[in-house]
């Protein structure tokens, strides 16, 4: 008996629809439209028209869901207002809800295991055990709202995007699409940041105005975009792709510079410096020439954008970078040292269980010129030990350090250029995160956990590709 014909409804054939399903869609949309107009909630028509096919597509193809979630990072990362916005609530529900559906369907309906390595097993265990810290925070941190406690807890769940990525992103085509989408995310956010910065500094007269106009947000997005592009220029073969990636790098690098966040500058340099040693000799020459050329282009762009203020702008960047070596006179550094010392004292009093999510601490801030009460801590390692206790904090960070080691192991062993590219991008980005976490806590930030989860997943993808494409070939030979 012939099967029902299938119609592709996407140029990438992410989703297929059977002929008998089309009338059901039409009837559903018409019914939703009439009901929405009758109830005077016409906006739900648009939500239904967009939402129903998307949900259907997510079920039919998890890859489509992963790609869509990647693009959703554009509005989500940019929506960083202090007050909770409808967009923030909607995107959080999408990310957490769709992830929960994926785990439930895979474990209980498809009866498939989700853990395949020590790294993802440790990651899942650590996230589940943070429920203990949530309970501690709920019962004992009475001066913190439930919303704050929930926010601290749920943001960790974005690390779990490593699981669908390692399961569904397998081929070079899959990886190419995912990297392309992350380039679009980085470009759009970086472009907006540069536009905002240049507009603000157009009337700047003094050096301090150039720094004060900085937009110190989404730095990890720019680092990720820079690493994807610079390693792509070094390793990928097509000249057209190299030219496009050069443009991407310049935009993301410019956005990273205008944040004036030294920790991310150093984290990026550490990532590129480390991955450099895993490149073939020919590619080391390419990346070295590219670095020199990029500096010339960036410096030239500064003179074009800032005109007579160009030397001042370059001087400010240079002083900002070199001030890292004069930490004893840096006020922000001194404040963070004081913060870290206070956290160490509190961790020593409760090293095993921590203080739970939402736990606050207070100290006199020399920058704010007053006593501050924070649930956030700049040092990610001390933050984790303070909230979760030392044992669970170590468990939380094991997948990060393990992914760096595994990624560089694959980079050393693989002979496949795209697997090398994937492993170095992922391991290099995580390495930069671990470096930055000393001064800029990553595991309490949405972009830190989401990009961290993506990169852990990509390390595992590169490891599986190495085992399946190369180790098996050797054993079968």
Q: Which of 12, 43, 60 is the last residue of a domain?
A: 60
- The pLDDT of residue 51: 60
HSE (CB half, 13 Å, CA atoms) of 284? 9
pLDDT for the residue numbered 53: 64
Q: Concatenated DSSP letters for 48-115?
A: HHHHHHHHHHHHH-HHHHHHHHHHTHHHHHH---SS--HHHHHHHHHHHHHHHHHHHIIIIIS-----
- How many folded domains does the chain comprise? 2
What six digits make up the tokens of 200?
Answer: 């603000």
Determine contact, residues 185/73, Cβ cutoff 8 Å: yes
Residue 252 lies in a domain: no
- 89-108 burial, b if ≥16 CB within 10 A, otherwise e? eebbebbeebbeebeeebee
pLDDT at position 441:
95
| Contact between residue 227 and residue 256 where contact means Cβ atoms under 8 Å apart | no
pLDDT of residue 13: 38
Pair 141, 56 in one domain:
no
Nearest alpha carbon to residue 280 among 424, 451, 437: 424
The Cα angle at residue 127 between residues 126 and 131, in degrees rounded to 5: 105
Q: What is the residue whose two structure tokens read 């992914």?
A: 403
What does the DSSP 8-state code read for residue 3? P
User: Can you state the angle between helices 172-201 and 62-71, rounded to 10 degrees?
Assistant: 10
Pick from 176, 225, 235, 169: nearest CA to 429: 225
Q: Which of 41, 60, 79 is the last residue of a domain?
A: 60
**Would you say residue 365 lies in a domain?**
no
Residues of the chain where predicted confidence (pLDDT) is lower than 70: 1-57, 79-83, 202-213, 302-330, 367, 471-477
DSSP string, 419-443: HHHHHHHHHHHHHHHHHHTTTS--T
Q: Which of 139, 100, 49, 98 is nearest to 358 (CA)?
A: 139
pLDDT at 27 (0 to 100): 63
Q: What are phi and psi of 288, to 5 degrees?
A: -70, -45
Which residue reads 């029902």 in tokens?
4
CA distance 192 to 214: 13
Any domain includes 413: yes
Specify the pTM: 0.86
Closest CA to 450 of 472, 428, 429, 475: 429
Q: What is the pLDDT of residue 408?
A: 98
Q: Is residue 144 part of a domain?
A: yes
- Of 51, 49, 92, 67, which Cα lies nearest the Cα of 12? 67
Q: What does the pLDDT read at residue 199? A: 79
> Given phi > 0 = left and psi -120 to 50 = alpha, else beta, which region is 40?
left
Copy the structure tokens of residue 402: 């393990």
Number of CB atoms found within 10 A of residue 321's CB: 15
Q: pLDDT tens, 318-356?
A: 666 666 555 556 677 777 888 899 999 999 999 999 999
Q: Is residue 285 part of a domain?
A: no
Q: How many CB atoms lie within 10 A of CB 311?
A: 11
Distance CA 327, CA 209 (A): 22
Answer whether residue 348 is part of any domain: no
Please say which residue of 39, 60, 81 terminates a domain: 60
- Provide the pLDDT for residue 260: 83
d(CA 260, CA 212): 9
How many Å is the maximal CA-CA distance in the chain? 81
Cβ proximity of 443 and 156 under 8 Å: yes
Q: What distance lies between CA 399 and its chain's CA centroid?
A: 15
Q: 470 and 388, same structural domain?
A: yes
Tell me, yes or no, whether 343 lies in a domain.
Answer: no
Tell me whether residue 248 is in a domain: no
Tokens of 83: 């007050």
Query: What is the pLDDT at residue 358?
Result: 93
Q: Return the pLDDT at 90.
A: 78
* CB-based contacts of 312, cutoff 8 Å, min separation 6: 207, 210, 306
* Residue-range definition of the domain harbouring residue 168: 134-217+324-330+378-476
Q: For 294-303, which contacts have Cβ atoms below 8 Å and span 24 or more sequence positions?
A: 294/246, 294/249, 294/250, 294/253, 297/250, 298/250, 298/253, 298/254, 298/257, 301/250, 301/254
């Amino acid at each position: 008996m012939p099967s029902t014909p299938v119609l592709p409804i996407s140029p990438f054939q992410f989703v297929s629809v059977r002929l008998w399903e089309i009338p059901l869609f039409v009837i559903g949309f018409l019914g939703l439209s009439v009901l929405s107009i009758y109830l005077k909630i016409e906006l739900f028509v648009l939500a239904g028209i967009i939402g129903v096919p998307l949900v259907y597509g997510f079920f039919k193809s998890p890859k489509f869901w992963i790609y869509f979630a990647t693009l959703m990072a554009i509005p989500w990362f940019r929506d960083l207002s202090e007050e909770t916005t409808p967009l923030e609530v909607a995107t959080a529900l999408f990310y957490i809800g769709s992830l929960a559906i994926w785990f439930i369907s895979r474990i209980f309906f498809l009866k498939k295991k989700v853990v395949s390595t020590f790294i993802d097993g440790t990651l899942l265990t650590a996230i589940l055990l943070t429920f203990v810290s949530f309970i501690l925070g709920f019962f004992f941190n009475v001066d913190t709202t439930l919303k704050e406690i929930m926010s601290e807890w749920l943001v960790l769940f974005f690390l779990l995007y490593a699981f669908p990525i390692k399961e569904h992103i397998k081929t070079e085509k899959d990886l190419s699409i995912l990297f392309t989408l992350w380039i679009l995310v980085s470009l759009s956010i970086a472009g907006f940041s540069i536009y905002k910065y240049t507009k603000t500094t157009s009337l700047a007269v003094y050096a301090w105005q150039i720094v004060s106009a900085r937009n110190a947000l989404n730095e990890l997005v720019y680092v990720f975009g820079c690493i994807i592009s610079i390693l792509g220029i070094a390793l990928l073969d097509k000249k057209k792709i190299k030219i496009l990636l050069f443009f991407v790098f310049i935009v993301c690098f410019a956005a990273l510079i205008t944040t004036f966040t030294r920790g991310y500058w150093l984290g990026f340099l550490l990532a590129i410096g480390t991955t450099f040693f895993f490149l073939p000799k020919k590619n080391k020459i390419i990346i070295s020439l590219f670095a020199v050329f990029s500096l010339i282009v960036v410096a030239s762009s500064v003179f074009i954008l800032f005109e007579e203020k160009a030397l001042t702008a370059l001087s400010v960047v240079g002083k900002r970078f070199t001030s890292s070596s004069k930490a004893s006179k840096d006020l922000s550094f001194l404040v963070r040292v004081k913060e870290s010392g206070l956290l160490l004292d509190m961790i020593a009093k409760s090293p095993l269980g921590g203080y739970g999510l939402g736990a606050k601490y207070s100290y006199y801030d020399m920058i704010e010129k007053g006593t501050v009460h924070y649930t956030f801590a700049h040092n990610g390692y001390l933050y984790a030990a303070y909230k979760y206790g030392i044992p669970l904090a170590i468990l939380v960070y094991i997948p990060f350090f393990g992914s760096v080691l595994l990624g560089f192991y694959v980079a050393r062993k693989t002979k496949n250029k795209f697997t090398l590219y994937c492993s170095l991008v992922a391991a290099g980005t995580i390495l930069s995160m671990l470096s930055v976490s000393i001064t800029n806590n990553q595991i309490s930030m949405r972009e830190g956990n989401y990009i961290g989860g993506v990169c852990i997943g990509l390390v595992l993808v590169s490891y599986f590709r190495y085992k399946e494409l190369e180790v098996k070939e050797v054993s079968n030979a």
